Amino acid sequence: MTDINRRHVPVLSQDVIRYLDVREGGTHLDCTLGLAGHASQIARLLGPKGHLIGFDRDPKALELAGERLKALAEELGGRMPKVTLIGEAFSTVADHIAPASLDGLLADFGVSSMQIDEAERGFSFQTDGPLDMRQDTRQEVTAAQVVNEMDERDLANLIYEYGEERRSWRIARAIVRARPITTTGQLSRIVAGCAPSMNSPKGDRIHPATRTFQALRIHVNRELDEIQKLLEAAPKLLKPSGRLVVISFHSLEDRIAKDVIKDFGTKGVWTVLTRKPTVAEEEETNRNPRARSAKLRAAEMLAPGKSGMGRKPEYKDIGSARMLTGFAQLSSGKQAPTKKDKPVKLKKKQGSGKKPRLRE
């Protein structure tokens, strides 16, 4: 097992197992396999008659996840479930998974630790590397192309909508003037030079480039479209009483998850298990700072004959107490406001959800 695999810690791991209600012989899909942290945890509980399916569009992540699961198979021997790995975007799950075949579906929308830690992937402003940001390295569009080719107006709107950055015009102007930009370090310095650091909603100081990098990553990988398509397909793939568990890391992701889960709850498709999102406790955030922003939402499919249209979403809070899991036993569009220009919509808009009123 690689060093990356050894130090990878999945977020909210105990809550994931509790809400998925993993049982022996079940079929579970991890839509965001990453380094197989959650998947390994699930596999320990499925038993030899179970089936674990993993999706990841990042070829490197799929390879490393395969290594980790192979090592787990050597440890579990005859207790290892069947494993199927698919190297495609999770928006295509309906093309690969039979209807009403899943007991559980998990999606962790956070950027993989491997992608952040490896400078050559171009996701992080903390290390200098090529301005890439592609989760699927087989696709053509990179962050460098967006930064160097998009006009100032569209770039400002992109940073404002996907980064929720109110200084987007200032940042876009600085980027255009500094072209060509080829590395993450160069872009980070340009943003920091024109937009000082700000406080996050939780009061923490965040790096000036955080929101700009988030916006570029979302755009390059069409992340919000991917999430929307996955969540809309989920009810068709889950069995009666099957569970959906999603983990988001910023407000744009969580807004989509909240709205889609609530909408299907209103339509009587499933019971919402989380009236409010489950978040990491202090002990976990101290151990794994990346868990600070994680929000977990879950739902359970209703049995045939129990569905109903036009009612308020049914909630079934299963509590927040932690439990010992398989993992624990081993050691979890907006527009840029401007005074002189009217806001214009991005030509390609991702996701859905209510937009805050803009201040001119």
Domain boundary among 190, 221, 252: 221
- pLDDT higher for 90 or 125? 90
pLDDT at site 251: 94
Q: Is the pLDDT of residue 348 over 80?
A: no
* CATH number of the domain within which 177 lies: 1.10.150.170
Among the residues of the chain, which ranges form H helices?
3-7, 13-20, 37-46, 59-76, 93-96, 113-117, 143-149, 152-163, 168-178, 184-194, 210-221, 223-237, 251-266, 282-287, 326-330
Same domain, yes or no, for 8 and 110? yes
Mean pLDDT, rounded, for 236-263: 97
pTM for this predicted structure:
0.84
Report the distance separating Cα 310 and Cα 254, nearest Å.
Answer: 23
Question: What is the domain range of residue 134?
Answer: 119-221
Q: Is the pLDDT of residue 139 over 50?
A: yes
236: which DSSP letter?
A: H
Same domain, yes or no, for 161 and 307? no
Mean pLDDT, rounded, for 96-120: 90
Residue 156 near residue 169 (C-beta atoms within 8 A): yes
Per-residue pLDDT tens digits for 90-99: 999 999 999 9
Per-residue pLDDT tens digits for 298-318: 999 998 766 555 455 556 655
Q: Is the pLDDT of residue 115 over 50?
A: yes
- DSSP string spanning 79-142? GPPEEEEE-S-GGGHHHHS-TT-EEEEEEE-SPPHHHHH-GGG---SSS--BS---SSTTSS--
Cβ neighbours, 10 Å, residue 110: 20
Same domain, yes or no, for 147 and 231? no
**Tally of domains in the chain:** 2
Same domain, yes or no, for 173 and 230? no
pLDDT at site 328: 30
Per-residue pLDDT tens digits for 180-221: 999 999 999 999 999 987 765 555 678 999 999 999 999 999
pLDDT at site 173: 98
Nearest residue to 47 (alpha-carbon basis) of 76, 14, 86: 76
